[in-house]
Structure 1
Amino acid sequence: MNPWPEIHRQRIAVAAMLDSLRDDQWDQPSLCAGWTVRDVAGHLTLQQIGFRELAGMLRHWRGGMDATIQDAARRRATAWSPEQLVTNIRDTAALRRHNIGVTPMETLIDLLVHGQDIAVPLGLDHPMPPEAAAAATRRVLTMRFPPPPPSVRATSGVRLTATDVTWSHGEGPEARGPIAALLLVATGRLIALPRLTGPGAEILAARRTPPPPS
């Protein structure tokens, strides 16, 4: 799958969703532990940083890459108004650049998952294209570098099967559900677990101890 056309569409969709928010919704908690909606939006403006921007980020090192990225997202979210954040995401939607050390698939995964990190706690409907979600979920579950999120380990020994697109992964007792829910569970968003059914879903529910998503 060439992810760039879907990356473009998802950036436009996320910008439209953010553009519709009330002022108070920007400071509501997202699904990312410790991240507000504003922080997540700030993070999504950091998808195309080059060596110069990376060097600037590393000057604010916080002891680990996840913490450093979160710090950069918060600093961007604080420095820019909601209108500036939305404008940046929309104006850079068609650019085919990705961060150093990741592939375009990670860029797509970020958009699909972080879009739900914003939408779900606010009770908003933000559809996830099944084919793109299937490609993203397979990438999450099979990636070696960058390292996969720790939540991937919780899916071992379970067969994940999508109910809205032809897709499955793994061996063992089956957990069935919409591909969007499978992607969220694979990336540590346990709020999606009730959308899964089958004996494998019961196993995943019993493993509800992965670290918070970043």
Structure 2
Amino acid sequence: MDRDEILSWVKAERLSLADFFESLHDEEWEAASLCAGWTIHDVAAHLTLSTRTTLAGSITGIIRARGNWDRMEADKARDRAAGFGPAELIAQLRETAGSSRRAPGAAPLDPLVDALVHGQDVARPLGRRRDMPVEQTVAALTHVHGSIFYGARKRFRGTQLVATDADWSAGEGPDEVRGPVGELLLLATGRPEGLAGLTGPGVRRLEAVLR
């Protein structure tokens, strides 16, 4: 895919997220997100890090987290949330919305996945709606489905995914799962909240895997 187009998508999502965060009340910043143990504030802090993380910082972080990637990401997000208030994080998100800098090892589409999925992580617990643009979400889902990083290959083994709002399908096997690309993306990134919008014989098995 064209990297300039991907970057334009990422910029638009980051600016949209900044607008979303700006609309929140003070108490909503401390509400739980869909990321276990993360507040909305923590997620906002995490979203400012993809253009600011260095290789040295990643190495130090993974050592401190004793090799646990998820723990490292959580620690970094909470540390940044403790150091910056909502207004500062919103300004930082806007400031680097169009930056092409990525965390070490990240592919061009990873920041788009991050923005789309974390947008749902913060909106859904608050009962707010964030639409996911179909073309961008299809690109993100295709990337996640083929990546070794997100665990989707193992999660979807023997499962065919079929989008109901786009011309997209992937995988093969007896367990078909159908639904909107946004819900499939949530499922692909390990979020059981995506299950509610899906149908098909594979849903029950995936529910057992994710819950």
Same fold (TM over 0.5): yes
Q: Tell me the equivalent position of 1:124.
A: 128
**Do the aligned residues in 1 keep the contact of 2:102 with 2:111 (CA within 8 Å)?**
yes
Pairing partner for 1:181 from 180, 183, 192: 183
Write the distance in 2 (CA, Å) between the matches of 1:164 and 1:52.
39
| Contact 2:147–2:153 (8 Å) recurs in 1 | no
Where has structure 1 moved over 6 Å in runs of 4 or more?
Answer: none
Query: Secondary structure at the residue paired with 1:207?
Result: helix
- In the alignment, the residues of structure 2 paired with residue 71 and residue 208 of structure 1 have an alpha-carbon distance, to the nearest angstrom, of 23
Query: How big is the alpha-carbon RMSD for the aligned residues of Structure 1 and Structure 2?
Result: 1.8
Contact 1:57 1:68 in 2 (8 A): no
Equivalent in the alignment of 1:102: 106
Question: What SS does the corresponding residue of 1:159 show, helix, strand or coil?
Answer: strand
Q: Offset of 1:82 from its aligned partner?
A: 0.3
Gaps of 5+ in 2: none
Report the CA distance between 1:83 and its aligned residue.
0.3
User: Contact (CA 8 Å) 1:161, 1:169: kept in 2 or not?
Assistant: yes
**Counterpart residue number, 1:191:** 193
Q: Does 1:89 align with 2:93?
A: yes
Which residue pairs with 1:212 in the alignment? none
SS at match of 2:177: strand
C-alpha contact (below 8 Å) 1:162/1:168 kept by paired residues:
yes
Q: What are the superposed Cα offsets for residues 92-138 of structure 1, whole Å, 9 maximum, x if unpaired? A: 11111111111121111111111110011111111111111111111
Q: 1:72 aligns with which of 71, 76, 80?
A: 76
Equivalent position amino acid for 1:37 in 2: I
Aligned equivalents of 1:12, 1:127: Cα separation in 2:
14
Decide whether aligned partners of structure 1 residues 163 and 59 sit closer, same or farther in structure 2, where only a CA change above 3 A counts. closer
Shift of 1:4: 0.6
Counterpart residue number, 1:208: 210
> Quick check: 185-194 or 54-63, which moved more?
54-63
